[in-house]
């Protein structure tokens, strides 16, 4: 008597392996929760801060932040996956990449400015570490994201930063 083993060929979908990340705020029907799922991980906002300040390259982020390379790599990959950053090749051999904000990423500018303003008011005992100025005007960003000198509405591309009175304070 012969026994046959009938194996069922399950078709494996290998075209794209998606790592499903555990969600922190599952069940929350809330835009704050959903936003935090994307940008609320440790280091992510500081990476975004640095991108707004002009940092583009992995080594430069690493030097600025002092974060572990695997963490930095994972955060950057997530931001690219979510369409907040775009990874562009700037050198062929060896291949090297830099990270740029997409329009979706640039839309986070008011979020960062709000964090800066809150921190300047409530968490900067020695004064603001960094002053955000209207480029070419010298006015500062007010609570309505306009220039407090000339009144122009401001966006990420309209401002520059300089050290503020709290710049020399020792980082905690
Ligand atoms: Zn101005």
Residue 80 is predicted with a pLDDT of 97
Reduced to 3 states (helix: H, G, I; strand: E, B; else coil), residue 55 is: coil
What does the chain come to in residues? 172
Residue identified by tokens 């290998």 is 14
Distance 157 CA to ligand 1 centre (A): 13
Phi and psi at 160, nearest 5°, equal -135, 165
Residue 8 is predicted with a pLDDT of 46
Report how far residue 130's alpha carbon sits from residue 120's, in angstroms, rounded to the nearest whole number.
9
Distance 102 CA to ligand 1 centre (A): 25
The structure tokens listed for 33 are 């929760």
Tell me the β-bridge partners of 87.
99
Distance 143 CA to ligand 1 centre (A): 14
Distance 128 CA to ligand 1 centre (A): 19
Residue 23 is predicted with a pLDDT of 81
pTM: 0.83
Residue 7 is predicted with a pLDDT of 46
Task: Encode pLDDT of 101-128 as tens digits.
Answer: 999 999 999 999 999 999 999 999 999 9
Low-confidence ranges of the chain (pLDDT < 50): 1, 5-17, 172
- Residue 40 is given by DSSP the state -
Residue 20 is predicted with a pLDDT of 58
- Which domains, and CATH codes, for the chain? 31-105 (1.10.10.10), 108-163 (no CATH)
């Amino acid at each position: 008597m012969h026994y046959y083993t009938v194996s069922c060929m399950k078709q494996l979908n290998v075209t794209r392996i998606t790592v499903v990340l555990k969600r922190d705020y599952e069940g929350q029907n809330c835009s704050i929760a959903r936003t935090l799922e994307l940008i609320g991980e440790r280091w992510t906002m500081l990476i975004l801060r640095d991108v707004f300040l002009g940092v583009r390259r992995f080594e430069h982020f690493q030097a600025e932040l002092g974060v572990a390379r695997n963490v930095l790599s994972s955060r950057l990959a997530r931001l690219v996956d979510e369409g907040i950053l775009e990874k562009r090749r700037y050198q062929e051999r060896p291949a090297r990449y830099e990270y740029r904000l997409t329009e979706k990423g640039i839309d986070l500018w008011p979020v960062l400015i709000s964090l800066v303003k809150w921190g300047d008011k409530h968490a900067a005992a020695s004064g603001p570490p960094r002053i955000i100025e209207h480029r070419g005007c010298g006015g500062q960003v007010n609570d309505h994201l306009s220039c407090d000198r000339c009144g122009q509405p401001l966006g990420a591309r309209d401002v520059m930063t300089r050290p503020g009175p709290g710049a020399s304070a020792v980082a905690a």
